[in-house]
Amino acid sequence: MPIYDRASGKEYVAHILEDTGVRNKKYDTDLDGLIDELASHTHTRDEITDLWNSPFWGNIPDKPSFFSPKIFAKKRFIFKLPDLSSGYTIIREAEADSSGYWVGAPYVFYDPETGEFWMTYRWRNPDNRGYKSVIAKSTDGINFTDYKEILKGDLGANSLEKGCLVRDPITGKYRYYICFDDGTGWDIWKLDDVDDPANLDPSTKTKVLARGASGEWDDKYAKDPAVFYYGGLWLMLYVGENDANDVEQSGLAYSPDGVNWTKYSNNPIIEVGSSGAWDDRYAKVTTMLQFFNAWLLIYSGRYKATEGATDQDWSQGLAVWIPQIGSKPVKITKDNYLSGTYSTEYLDIVIVDEDVYIYYQKINSDLSMDLVVKKVKLSDIITIV
């Protein structure tokens, strides 16, 4: 594999674009121009560092970035979520209008090569917890057609929760991660990669991320994977719980191949709030966005049932991570959840050009939960200042 040339950068950049086959078409011209510009003169170490940290690399992962790949300097932005209580479209409705009937836990990615949205979601009812994971696809990000179903019985599971379908940008194959309880507890599993998600085979399941050892922060379970490919490295956000303190917090794992994972040494990266805080029981990370050099992590939070909380009280929080200056994200929503996100859970965001698709579980007054999407413009969530 060609190494990175500090003088020009051209050989390594060209290698990435040539071999992955997942160039974001919107930026073809800009990327070619960037490569030529890199080769035109010698760059300082600082310039090379800026390139590595720039959103250029965001055009390679499954979830493409949307900023033109140029080096940014002294840019600031304001991030906000729109009011999620209205203006959404229902993708799937719960089986009944009653507590315990849920459909959701979405993970969605957009494939710029095919123009398709791929969603993984799951069904649940009080008598049959987490009984089915579904892979669906769409050409508009709103109307989804079910494409593949995986039942908990297919996996030998008592219950399953969030699944995650991604596409390997190197091989072009699809890979599927799922968390389930096999009778001993919750872990994260992977099926063998396939050319077509319809051919995913539950019998090929392999445990890829296990709950922690006794006494660790995630010794009760590891679940709810959200997987991203970032500049040659696979990243997994996941949720863990400690058996002793009974709180769900957020972790990070990384892998060179998406199969052999290492847990981040500074886990949990998002912790629950202090006693009495709006998120003192749950802080479950669900997705990540990159803006300039910052990673924005969205998490679903709630306080304890012993303090009066019900499923109605789920909301969304925000943590910001700038890896160059901190070993953990900084929780922005320590005092309160993000405005307009009350009664929502399992939020995911996909950005395509100037359109933003926000997927989430909407919690109804009868405590059933529907899978919905709200489409807004990029300018509705990001303001550059």
pLDDT single digits (tens) 32-48: 443 344 334 344 444 44
- The whole-chain average pLDDT of the chain stands at 85
Q: Which amino acid is at 117?
A: F
Structure-block tokens of residue 220: 């009760």
The predicted structure's pLDDT at residue 34 = 38
Q: Which residue has the tokens 């679940």?
A: 223
CA distances from 105 to 121, 211, 331 (A): 5, 20, 22
DSSP, res 232 = T
CA distance 274 to 306: 15
The predicted structure's pLDDT at residue 276 = 94
Who contacts 291 (Cβ-Cβ below 8 Å, separation ≥6)? 55, 67, 77, 79, 382
CATH T-level assignment (fold) for domain 78-384: Tachylectin-2; Chain A (2.115.10)
Q: What is the mean predicted confidence (pLDDT) over 62-82?
A: 61
Q: What is the mean predicted confidence (pLDDT) over 200-214?
A: 98
CA distances from 161 to 177, 202, 211, 213, 254 (A): 11, 15, 15, 22, 21
143 close to 373: Cβ distance less than 8 angstroms: no
The predicted structure's pLDDT at residue 75 = 67
pLDDT digits (tens, 9 = 90+) for 235-291: 999 999 999 999 999 999 999 999 999 999 999 999 999 999 999 999 999 999 998
DSSP states of 146-162 as a string? EEEEEEHHHHT-SEEEE
The predicted structure's pLDDT at residue 293 = 82
194 close to 174: Cβ distance less than 8 angstroms: yes
Lowest mean pLDDT segment, chosen from 55-59, 89-93, 202-206, 371-375:
55-59
From the list 298, 344, 381, 346, the residue with the least C-alpha distance to 162 is 346
**How large a percentage of the chain has pLDDT more than 70?**
81
DSSP states of 270-281 as a string? BPPPSTTSTTSS
CA distance 56 to 23: 11
What are the phi and psi torsion angles at 352 (to 5°)?
-125, 110
DSSP, res 83 = P
Q: What is the mean predicted confidence (pLDDT) over 137-141?
A: 98
pLDDT digits (tens, 9 = 90+) for 73-119: 556 888 999 999 999 999 999 999 999 999 999 999 999 999 999 99
**How large a percentage of the chain has pLDDT more than 90?**
73
Parallel, antiparallel or unpaired: strands 248-255 and 382-384:
unpaired
CA distance 352 to 359: 14
The predicted structure's pLDDT at residue 6 = 32
- Per-residue pLDDT band for 20 (boundaries 50, 70, 90) equals very low
CA distance 315 to 278: 9
The predicted structure's pLDDT at residue 22 = 35
The predicted structure's pLDDT at residue 234 = 97
269 close to 284: Cβ distance less than 8 angstroms: no
CA distance 360 to 162: 12
What are the phi and psi torsion angles at 383 (to 5°)?
-120, 120
Phi-psi group of 325: left, alpha or beta (phi > 0 → left; psi -120 to 50 → alpha; rest → beta): alpha
> How would you label 231-252 residue by residue, b for 16+ Cβ within 10 Å and e otherwise?
eeebbbbbbbbbeeeebbbbbb
pLDDT digits (tens, 9 = 90+) for 147-174: 999 999 999 999 999 999 999 999 999 9
Strands (E) in 25-115, as ranges, are 77-79, 89-92, 102-111
The predicted structure's pLDDT at residue 136 = 98
For residue 74, how far is the Cα from the chain centroid? 27
pLDDT at 229 over 90: yes
Who contacts 190 (Cβ-Cβ below 8 Å, separation ≥6)? 175, 176, 177, 178, 205, 206, 208, 258, 259
Per-domain residue ranges of the chain: 10-53, 78-384
